Amino acid sequence: MWRVALRALFGRRARLRWVHLVLGGALLMPFWLVGTTVVGPLGDTGNLFTTSLVVQFGAYLVALPLAAIAALLPLARPLSVGVARALTGVPAELFADGPAHSWAARLRTSAWFTLHLGVGALLSGASLALPPFAVTLIVAPLSRSVQDFLHVPWSMRPFDRLLLLPPAGFAMLLALAACSAGAGALLARQAPVLLGPTPADRLAAAEQRAAELAERNRLARELHDSVGHALSAVTLQAGAARRVLDRDVEFVREALTAIEETTRRTVGELDAVLGLLRQDGEGADRATGPTLDTLDGLVSRSGVRVAVHTDGDPASVPAHVSREAYRIVQEGLSNALRHAGAVPVSLWIAVRGEELEITMENPLPDRAPVARPGGGRGLRGITERAALLGGRAGAGPQGAVWRLSALLPLGAGR
């Protein structure tokens, strides 16, 4: 129990909190000096720096509102949070980050700043005044001049002086340590309340996390669809070329050409996606990637025979919808390659009114080839792409064929 008590009064955490309180007292000094210019002339002597306790505490009462007003500045919160994180022993995640923009956050910061400086000034004054006086009491029995300074009566016996004065000095030091620990604990308890995130801060943080998660998911879909499709196509083309290497040189040449063009196109797409990761500015254009205008190149080197049927003008589709449609078709072809092999695929692209409809069909094989063991997340990515545009998508077996369909509104926002 004694060890716990001593640790609470003189341990590392207690010492750091005492430093925090003394720092608060130091921060109050400019405001206190302003207060003395207001209260000092009202004293009997008219001296700004009089030792009168009435004037000093009057200046203290004037300084606190001035400190509260100064703490309404937005930058007061990050400064207070930085000091409190380092010295109060409160977990860092309980504090808010960034300047206080809302009035609720500013008022909380102002209340904390006033409490910190007000309590810190009192403890700083006590830390300056009590230890010298306590040490004087402790050594008083050893020096008659010190006893005269303290006005110790001559009639007090030496034993009484030894019995009363040193314990009184030690008691003062212990009381100062207890008050410092109590004040530090009070500030530590109030720090998460006054410097923690407000409801508006929590909402802004949640929106920021949601935006970052959406961006990561978008980049993950881009990488999955572009690189995944290329790897699936290259795997099947290389496997087919290996099987006929000794019998059909022309087919091998065509397969190698397809592999070369597929990888070259994918490297360009990969570079575009990686460029998004390197963009730091908020105004950077993130709307990059292939569209339906480049669909012919994708279809011609996809590794499967694709019959394309169009209804309407795909060139009239807005660019951001066209990019998502391209990725949906790309993933549909990748899905056919992975699970059905080099089977013929039928693709319908129809622009009807304010909607773009995509339908893909391929025969179901007796046994699916393994282009990538374990499958992937392509179908879920297609659903996410359609949902982000306010549309819908689905895929599944329909009799003897596998059908992928997506409906995208052309008026969808970015």
Residues 311 and 385 in one domain: yes
DSSP single-letter state for residue 243: H
In a domain, 36, yes or no: yes
Residue/partner pairs of 214-220 with CB below 8 Å, 24 or more apart = 217/384, 219/273, 219/276, 219/277, 220/381
More confident residue, 318 or 157: 318
Residues 239 and 171 in one domain: no
| pLDDT higher than threshold 90 for residue 182 | yes
Q: What local confidence, expressed as pLDDT, does residue 278 receive?
A: 63
pLDDT tens across 335-351, in order?
887 777 778 899 999 99
Residues 391 and 253 in one domain: yes
Bridge partner list, 406: 358, 393
Give percent of the chain with pLDDT exceeding 90: 33
pLDDT tens across 349-407, in order?
999 888 999 999 998 877 654 444 444 567 788 888 888 888 999 888 888 888 999 99
Residues 151 and 237 in one domain: no
Q: What local confidence, expressed as pLDDT, does residue 42 receive?
A: 65
| pLDDT higher than threshold 50 for residue 66 | yes
Residue type, 259: I
Residues 68 and 124 in one domain: yes
In a domain, 123, yes or no: yes
Instruction: Report, as an integer, the average pLDDT of 4-30.
Output: 92
Counting the structural domains of the chain, the total is: 2
Instruction: Report, as an integer, the average pLDDT of 114-121.
Output: 95
pLDDT tens across 294-339, in order?
888 778 777 678 899 999 888 888 988 998 898 888 888 888 877 7
In a domain, 414, yes or no: no
- CA distances for 327 relative to 5, 320, 398, angstroms: 67, 11, 23
The domain in which residue 210 lies consists of: 204-409
Residues 26 and 99 in one domain: yes
DSSP single-letter state for residue 293: G
Tell me the torsion sign for CA atoms 7, 12, 13, 16.
positive
> How far is Cα 366 from Cα 387, in angstroms, rounded to an integer?
32
Average pLDDT, the chain: 83
In the numeric block, the tokens 């001049």 are attached to 145
Q: What local confidence, expressed as pLDDT, does residue 126 receive?
A: 93
DSSP single-letter state for residue 377: S
Instruction: Report, as an integer, the average pLDDT of 143-161.
Output: 80
Name the domain boundary from 165, 195, 225.
195
Q: What local confidence, expressed as pLDDT, does residue 285 receive?
A: 46
Instruction: Report, as an integer, the average pLDDT of 20-42.
Output: 88
Residues 387 and 317 in one domain: yes
Pull the structure tokens for residue 381.
């990515």
> How far is Cα 178 from Cα 171, in angstroms, rounded to an integer?
10
Q: Is 404 helix (H, G, I), strand (E, B) or coil?
A: strand
| pTM, 2 dp | 0.58
Tell me the torsion sign for CA atoms 180, 183, 186, 188.
negative
- Residue 96 CB-half CA count within 13 A: 32
Q: What local confidence, expressed as pLDDT, does residue 161 receive?
A: 80
Q: What local confidence, expressed as pLDDT, does residue 255 receive?
A: 78
Q: What local confidence, expressed as pLDDT, does residue 220 receive?
A: 74
Name the domain boundary from 154, 169, 195.
195
Pull the structure tokens for residue 364.
């179901």
